[in-house]
Amino acid sequence: MEVVPDVSFTVRDAVRLYGIDNWGAGYFDVNEQGRLTIRPNRDDRAVDLYGLLARLRKRKMRFPMLLRFPQILTNRVNELFDAFEKSIAEYSYGNRYLGVFPIKVNQKKEVVDELVAAGRDRGMGLEAGSKAELAVALSHKLSPDALIICNGYKDAPYVRMALRGVEMGKRVFLIVEKPQEIELILRVSKEVGVQPLIGMRIRLHARGSGKWEKSGGQASKFGLTTQEVLEAIELLKRGDALNSFRLVHFHVGSQIPEIKRIKAAVKEGARVYAKLRAAGAPLEVLDVGGGLGVDYDGSKTTYEASMNYTLQEYANDVVYIVREICGAEGVPEPSIASESGRALVAYHAMLVCEVRGQNATPAEAADLMVPQDVHDVLREMKDILEGMTRKNHREYYHDALEKREELYGLFDLGYLSLRERALGERLYDAIARTAVRFAKEDRFVPEEFEDLEKKLITKYIANFSVFQSIPDSWALDQLFPVVPIHRLGDEPTVPATLCDVTCDSDGEVDRFVDLRDVKDHLDLHVQDGKPYYVAILMIGAYQDVLGDYHNLFGIVDEAHVAVGPGKAVRILATQPGDRARDVIRLFSYEPDDLAKAVEAQARAAVREKKLTKAQAQSIVDEYKEALDAYTYLDFSQ
């Protein structure tokens, strides 16, 4: 029954099994000790994650734990600018690249600060989709030519805030999403006495593809139709403000897996730019939006979790197409902006959680001994188990199904003890596992056994919340690589899924990266009673802010880590996650009032002689302590 571990399994086999070289992008590897490593600068300086965790534990950090590697952010910013600058040089493009980070992809201060610092000298800007995001963007001291792009629907205060930014000398562009916004912008601009910088988001015929393709195309929620662009220009002319119209923007969705979709969008967008420019709009910038993908599964395909192009290919295509079209239309080449968010931040963060327990353990031979004095049905099941062969496994399995029905029938009628029922269930489980093993030896595995195999996948219970830490895994079935951070020199022999600690059956990760397909399980190591840690990787984009408080599991402990100078691994900062009192307060409870309410009830019980004073006191003390505790499970006591 037990799968015998292959002693020749090496860390290289682990790298292959989990696909680390496929999706790791040079950031992830496994060392000779069988531990997952991360190289934030993509050089030879690696962080041994298991060793890092030991240090963080000493600092009282708890699991689940979010680890951020800010150097990855710098590395990504450099790669993005390098790629565009290389294309610009190669095609002798007559203008520059200006990257813009969309704040909605990760609003965390340390993340935005790091990106801005990394790109300051190269003209890195920010994109905001709301007043609050604009407030963040304006607070940054960017280079004077950097762009601040204001997307999203707008009201007068949003417009006013943007204009104040212009007044401060920043290049804050108001991107028009609806023609009526022109009137609003012109009115507020008159009030404030500042000439606006206006961009228009155009609605392309070309669509993205993948999960987010609704963001583009004719039916999109966003952007101006061709007719509306013409109307908007009329409105600008009438307001004597055509001179404000400096930018054309489009965005066809996030995580675009196919380069041909990107090329089609850029062709169309560049043509619109060129026509408008030729018609007299004083345009300076073409903003190609987001959508630059991340290869989460490493398959390099057009699958939604992947991408069939490289960053350099993306930059080359954008620059080349814009140049060609501007040449054909005889208009000046604009600055090219992109709003690449996911591609900058996805890699920098990971969640490490501890696995404790599993839903069911396969029975050992000793557990399947059938004593003399039990019901015949159990002896018959044992005979099925022992007599099963590759040849008869199908028939024997069907017999076992019948016996299992009989087992429950007898139990319902009161003929079986709980102990007998337990033994019957374990025998059935062992039969099913044996049958699946035989079935898989055949070339053709009947559907029946494929389904049965799925039911036998072990559920590992991990101390985290899908809803708080990887919401897109639940909401969109998004794939994130999952890898144990240690024991990688040993063969993992348990096909498992990862269940979180919420009371929601959706709180489970049961789709895993695979080169050809999506796997319904991950091979993990046998639980040996010692702590077992797995990391969920590449969760730096969108997950931080979309996380929710299902079951009141809160924000997790967090550490920021860098490597260097030399090979030293430095813990730059640690931030404690939510306490129970923090998440309770989010839902309008006042934790101190709750403590008082418990205290009042305990005192009443003392008056009624149901509790002693000492008992009441310790109840109240412990209640208060619990309010200060981490919201996740604490295995240390």
Where do contacts with ligand PLP occur on this chain (CB under 6 A)?
A: 102, 104-105, 151, 251, 254-255, 289-292, 339-342
Q: What angle do CA 129, 130, 132 make, to 5 degrees?
A: 125
- The residue whose Cβ lies closest to ligand PLP is 290
Q: Residue 273 or 464: which CB sits closer to ligand PLP? A: 273
Q: Which helix (H) or strand (E) holds 479?
A: none
CA distance 490 to 10: 7
CB of 293 to ligand PLP, least distance (A): 8
Q: Residue 258 or 339: which CB sits closer to ligand PLP? A: 339
CB of 304 to ligand PLP, least distance (A): 13
CB of 279 to ligand PLP, least distance (A): 25
Q: Residue 291 or 424: which CB sits closer to ligand PLP? A: 291
The number of residues making up the chain comes to 637
CB of 149 to ligand PLP, least distance (A): 8
Measured N-to-C along each axis, helices 180-192 and 226-238 cross at an angle, to the nearest 10 degrees, of 30
Helix/strand number for the chain, H first, E second: 22, 21
What region does 141 belong to: left with phi over 0, alpha with psi -120 to 50, or beta? Answer: beta
Q: Residue 115 or 569: which CB sits closer to ligand PLP? A: 115
| SS3 per-residue string spanning 48-96 | EHHHHHHHHHHCCCCCCEEEECHHHHHHHHHHHHHHHHHHHHHCCCCCC
CB of 194 to ligand PLP, least distance (A): 24
CA distance 17 to 11: 10
Contact 532, 36 (CB under 8 A): no
Q: Quick check: helix, strand or coil at residue 391?
A: coil
Q: Which tokens sit at 355?
A: 């696995």
Q: Which tokens sit at 258?
A: 């196919």
Q: Which tokens sit at 500?
A: 């979180």
Q: Residue 181 or 510: which CB sits closer to ligand PLP? A: 181
Q: Token match 């509306």: residue? A: 228
CA distance 322 to 303: 27
Distances (CA, A) of 500 to 147, 191, 507: 41, 54, 5
CB of 250 to ligand PLP, least distance (A): 9
CB of 501 to ligand PLP, least distance (A): 29
| SS3 per-residue string spanning 249-260 | ECCCCCCCCCHH
Q: Residue 102 or 507: which CB sits closer to ligand PLP? A: 102
CB of 151 to ligand PLP, least distance (A): 5
Of 141, 92, 85, 24, the closest CA to residue 338 belongs to: 85
Bridge-partner residues for 504, per DSSP? none
Q: Residue 147 or 602: which CB sits closer to ligand PLP? A: 147
Q: Residue 276 or 292: which CB sits closer to ligand PLP? A: 292
CB of 222 to ligand PLP, least distance (A): 7
> Considering Cα of 165, then 166, then 167, then 169, what sign does the dihedral take?
positive
Q: Residue 74 or 254: which CB sits closer to ligand PLP? A: 254
Q: Residue 71 or 151: which CB sits closer to ligand PLP? A: 151
CA distance 293 to 295: 7
Q: Residue 97 or 630: which CB sits closer to ligand PLP? A: 97
Of 617, 598, 497, 507, the closest CA to residue 551 belongs to: 507
CB of 339 to ligand PLP, least distance (A): 4
CB of 286 to ligand PLP, least distance (A): 14
Q: Residue 209 or 340: which CB sits closer to ligand PLP? A: 340
CB of 144 to ligand PLP, least distance (A): 23
CA distance 97 to 94: 10
CA distance 186 to 172: 15
